[in-house]
Amino acid sequence: MEQSDLESKPKSRKVAALLALVSTVAPIAGLHKFYLRQPLWGLVYLLLSWTPIPRVASALEGVWYLSQDSDEFDRRFNLSLPATAPKPTPVDPSQVTAVADAVRQLDKLRADGLITEYEFEQKRRQLLDRVV
């Protein structure tokens, strides 16, 4: 199997959760990050394997993966894969403008230090999900 074949296959929520939960007891942590195409995070987990931090984070992520439904997991981790679903209907331009304005306002809040980078990214994704 070629590398491109591995990258094009959708990632399984159950396998990701299993790898995360195994990372809580295995001598090395972060295998689920490599599986989910997040090699930088995987490297951070590996480098911190001698501390309890990646084990606790892996346990929380394993539970989080299992608590998501398949659609939410796919949106987060299989978004870059070619879609097999039919093309979405055209989007109302006024809706796009409203979302763009909201993202600009969020960016201003982030720049002013009123929200964190993480909060900005989460809200930005929620807004963009409304358009698609």
Domain ranges of the chain: 3-77, 93-131
Output the pLDDT for position 84. 55
Digit-coded pLDDT (tens) for 42-99: 899 889 988 999 989 989 998 998 898 888 888 888 876 555 555 556 667 777 888 8
Q: What is the pTM of this model?
A: 0.53
Alpha-carbon dihedral sign for residues 67, 72, 7, 58: negative
Whether 130 shows a pLDDT value over 80: the answer reads no
Digit-coded pLDDT (tens) for 10-46: 888 899 889 989 888 888 888 888 888 888 988 998 8
